[in-house]
Copies of this chain bind each other. A is one copy, B any other.
Amino acid sequence: MADMKRIDVVFEGIGRTTGKMRNDIHVDWPAQGESFDLATDEGPFHGGDGTAPPPLALFTAALTGCLMTQIRAFAKRLKIEIGEVEVRARLHWYCEAAPGEPYVSHPVGFDLDVDLDSPASLDDRMRLLDAAKKGCFLEQTLSQGLTVGHRLRDGEDWIDA
Show the binding face of A for B, using Cβ within 8 Å: 3-17, 21, 23, 25, 27, 29, 32, 34, 36, 38-40, 42-43, 45-47, 50, 53-66, 68-69, 72-74, 77-78, 84-99, 102-116, 122, 125-126, 129-131, 133-154, 158-159, 161
- Whether B140 contacts A107 by the Cβ 8 Å rule is yes
Total copies of this chain within the assembly: 2
Given A43-B32, A59-B58: A9 in contact with B92 (beta carbons within 8 A): yes
Residue of B nearest to A5 (CB): B97
A149, chain B: closest CB distance, angstroms: 4
Most buried by B among A69, A104, A136: A69
Q: What distance in Å separates the Cβ of A9 from its nearest Cβ neighbour in chain B?
A: 5
Given contacts A15-B87, A58-B65, A104-B140, contact A149 B21 (CB under 8 A): no
Partner of A61, one of B46, B58, B96: B58
Verify A136–B105 contact, CB threshold 8 A: yes
Q: Which residues of B contact A58 (CB under 8 A)?
A: 38, 58-59, 61-62, 65
17 contacts between A and B (CB under 8 A): A5-B97, A7-B94, A7-B96, A10-B90, A10-B91, A11-B57, A14-B87, A25-B60, A38-B57, A39-B65, A55-B66, A58-B65, A106-B140, A111-B149, A111-B151, A112-B148, A129-B152
Q: Is the CB of A137 within 8 A of B56?
A: yes
